[in-house]
């Protein structure tokens, strides 16, 4: 049931956003000898391959696109966004730190789910679906369907690059599906930990504010 709600939320969010963007759309150049997924990210966001490779040292490849999405929206350097991520901040909190409103950034303005705080995996899904759909000029529903069948975004990118005839492609898809449930279980665990950390941070701030207030009252007596 939760998975269905998540799919509906992502579809509703994406359908409310215009497909026009400032990014390059479509496959360009040869990817021979170059990692295809990095090439797609570099082409779409207009950044050099060396930079994308450096980002991958610190961010899992299925989250790399989020770095460039947030860098573009906030008009900040991708390395600055990467440094925030290396500090252990969630994508949601990084969005706030960049001065962005995640409640409107990741969903259509009139979505019934617009007050739902999205965790890292949901945000990565949102950004990757948008990126791959625009880049390969296919429907977002189609990308979402392939993702929820267990395919990694890297594999989806390869499919639309015409690499489904690669001798190891079907074997890789099977491996994707095996790891998908495990990854989602880890995502849920991380989300719960993130919520606990946020609650602890709010409690600590509240306690500090109360102490400061009491200290101020004592000095005024």
Reported as a single tens digit per residue, the pLDDT across 77-102 is 999 999 999 998 999 999 999 999 98
- pLDDT band, residue 20 (cuts 50/70/90): very low
Which CA distances in Å does 2 have to 5, 117, 178, 184, 194? 5, 14, 20, 12, 19
Domain that holds residue 47: 2-220
Whether pTM > 0.75 for this model: the answer is: no
Which CA distances in Å does 85 have to 51, 80, 89, 94? 16, 9, 5, 7
Q: Give the count of domains, the chain.
A: 1
Condensed to tens digits (0 to 9), the pLDDT of residues 150-187 reads 888 988 998 888 765 555 656 655 565 556 566 656 66
- CB-CB contact of 43 with 27 (8 Å): yes
Q: How far apart are CA 93 and CA 119, in angstroms?
A: 10
Inter-axis angle of helices 140-148 and 2-15, nearest 10: 160
- pLDDT band, residue 21 (cuts 50/70/90): very low
Q: How far apart are CA 46 and CA 30, in angstroms?
A: 16
Mention every residue, 6+ apart, whose C-beta is less than 8 A from residue 124. 62, 63, 65, 66, 91
Does residue 112 surpass a pLDDT of 60?
Answer: no
């Amino acid at each position: 049931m939760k998975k269905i709600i998540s799919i509906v939320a992502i579809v509703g969010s994406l359908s409310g956003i215009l497909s026009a963007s400032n990014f390059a759309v479509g496959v360009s150049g040869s990817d021979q000898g170059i990692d295809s997924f990095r090439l797609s990210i570099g082409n779409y966001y207009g950044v050099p391959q060396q930079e994308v490779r450096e980002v991958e040292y610190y961010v899992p490849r299925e989250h790399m696109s989020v770095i460039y999405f947030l860098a573009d929206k906030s008009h900040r350097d991708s390395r600055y966004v990467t440094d925030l991520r290396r500090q252990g901040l969630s994508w949601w909190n990084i969005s706030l730190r960049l001065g962005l409103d995640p409640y409107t950034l990741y969903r259509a303005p009139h979505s019934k789910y617009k007050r739902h705080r999205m965790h890292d995996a949901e945000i990565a899904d949102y950004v990757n679906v948008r990126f791959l759909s625009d880049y390969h000029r296919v429907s977002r529903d189609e990308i979402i369907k392939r993702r929820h069948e267990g395919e990694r975004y890297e594999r989806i990118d390869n499919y639309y690059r015409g690499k489904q005839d690669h001798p190891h492609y079907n074997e890789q898809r099977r491996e994707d599906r095996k790891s998908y449930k495990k990854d989602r279980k880890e995502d849920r665990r991380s989300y719960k930990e993130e919520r606990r950390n946020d609650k602890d941070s709010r409690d600590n701030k509240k306690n500090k504010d109360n102490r400061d207030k009491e200290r101020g009252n004592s000095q005024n007596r």
